[in-house]
Amino acid sequence: MSADAQSQQRLEKIRSRPIDGQALKNLVEAGLTWLKTNQQTVNALNVFPVPDGDTGTNMVLTMTSAFNEIANSGNHHLGQMAGAVAQGALMGARGNSGVILSQLLRGFARGMHDNETLDGPTLARAFAEARDTAYKGVVRPVEGTILTVAKDAAAAAESALKSTQDPIEILSLVVKAADESVQHTPELLPVLKQAGVVDSGGKGYFYILEGMLRYIYGESLESPLATVQPLSAMNFENAMQEVEEGQDFEVVVDFFPGGVFDLQKFYGGLEEMGTSIQVGEGDGMYRMHIHVPLENRYKPIDFIMGLGTITKVAMENLLAQMEDLDKAAGERLDLTPVEPGQIAVVAVSPGRGLSRIFASLGVAAIVEGGQTMNPSTKDILEAFENLPTDKVIILPNNKNIILAAQQAKEVTVKEVYVVPSRTIPQGLSAMLMLNPDGDAAAIAARMEQSLSLVRTGEITVATRTVEIDEVAVQEGQVIALLDGKLVLSAGSIEEACLTLLEKAETADHELITLFHGEDMPAAEAQRIADKIREAYPSQEIEVQDGGQPHYQFIISVE
């Protein structure tokens, strides 16, 4: 039997059965699988040339939480199953993309709530509810994002009803419309066009819908559409979060391929050896990353040796690395005890050093998170639910965590205020306003006012070649951001720091604090601080160990 005949036979079999709760479970799993297969493709669509391309990861983790909620359910009621999916997504939502995805799933659940099985009009209504719920959940909706893709998908579903009542045909037309919508996003959002990418969240949503359709037609969900990302965009930290049982070693190989390099065949060979596969390229050199079991640790090397010239091999014991991470996570922080009736502050922090500083300022709970490791709604909720007070202030300290913090506020009976701190310096500035025995609403208002009293600089390395806001950046260059805006590229970290401080009009401020990252030696941080002291002899210059990943310096100017 031909592949087309098999596909048609499968389609007829699916059509002969009602699309109930169990069928929905299979579709959700398929959407998750296809999204996970193409996770790195979505991550690589990051607009800004900074190492935080985590949209794909956030959406995968959100969908994983949604599926885990129903994985063992035998419920056949469509609406009830959809409600459970939405609940799982709500609690597992990470980052702005994950939160919006959870709102889309909440809308789907509303559209299917009373239905035992799915028909065409119900599917169209569900897409419309998903669109409306997602738009309502964002204070200032921006077109050219996942919201636009959701809107175009809903419009396609509604239009399809004019010619068919078949939910499978409707889904097929929706997937086509979503694909076209994603391709159109750069025309709606200039920053996408500048960066030469489509919207990452919209692309992730498309993959979920396409995965469902591929499942219906019996197409593969495990083989990725092979892609190569820039070397500097390869995110091994997220790979570490996904270490699977039996994957004992991390192997990284740099090589120059000889002859014609078949990327799809290369991926296929690696998939037989392990998981967490990433491939990056720069100036003709390729870098392969994979997690493998003990007995396979040399197989990727032998495989690549037959494809070209190997220039570097790195191998790490994942079990030992995970033990070190667990040990570091277990180090005790002296958090401030809180009494009933007092205000408890929950702060999100990306580094152990920064966590210690927050603790010293009176924080009652720390949530680990930041760039590339956005905490979920559930993570934030669990940080304060068991504290012996009903007054809570949350400091997200990252623009991509604010929505998850607001969702945590919505699902608790406690009196919670989210102070929308977008950076670590803003969060530290807010902590200076804390009076644990004061009025929670008044303290939160004072904290929010304090956010404007500090400017934030960030020094990192560019992950892509791009020009944004008239700043030309080459992949691998040192770059600086001022209050979240890309302002310069430089030849060295020292040059970037000094030029950034000049743009921040530091001469008009009193205090400069440098929080150096985990990859910045303390001695080098002090050397650069001395150069800054020479340039700004009237300002007080402090150096703190922040311990944050990816960013050599986070700089506070007050």
Q: Average pLDDT of each block of 10 consecutive residues along the chain (558 residues)? A: 66 80 96 90 79 80 95 96 96 92 97 94 97 91 94 97 94 97 94 87 97 92 63 53 65 90 86 83 84 89 93 82 53 82 95 92 90 85 94 95 94 96 96 96 97 95 84 89 93 95 92 93 94 94 92 95
State the pTM of this model: 0.80
User: What is the pLDDT at residue 272?
Assistant: 87
User: What is the pLDDT at residue 245?
Assistant: 60
Q: At what angle do helices 200-216 and 95-112 cross, to 10 degrees?
A: 40
**Residue entry with tokens 């299979």:** 26
| CATH code of the region 455-557 | 3.30.1180
User: What is the pLDDT at residue 222?
Assistant: 75
User: What is the pLDDT at residue 220?
Assistant: 84
User: What is the pLDDT at residue 240?
Assistant: 47
Report the distance separating Cα 308 and Cα 254, nearest Å: 10
**Residue entry with tokens 């390099």:** 261
Q: Which fold has domain 229-325?
A: Alpha-Beta Plaits (3.30.70)
- Cβ neighbours, 10 Å, residue 260: 5
**Residue entry with tokens 């995965």:** 211
249 in helix, strand or coil?
strand
Asked whether 223 and 33 are in contact (CB, 8 A), the reply is no
Q: Phi/psi zone of residue 246: left (φ > 0), alpha (ψ -120 to 50 degrees), beta? A: left
Of 1.25.40.340, 3.60.20.10, 1.10.10.10, 1.10.10.60, which CATH number belongs to 3-216?
1.25.40.340
Report the distance separating Cα 293 and Cα 299, nearest Å: 10
User: What is the pLDDT at residue 129?
Assistant: 97
Q: How do the domains of the chain map onto residue ranges?
A: 3-216, 229-325, 331-453, 455-557
**Pair of tokens at residue 370:** 């930041």
| CATH code of the region 331-453 | 3.40.50.510
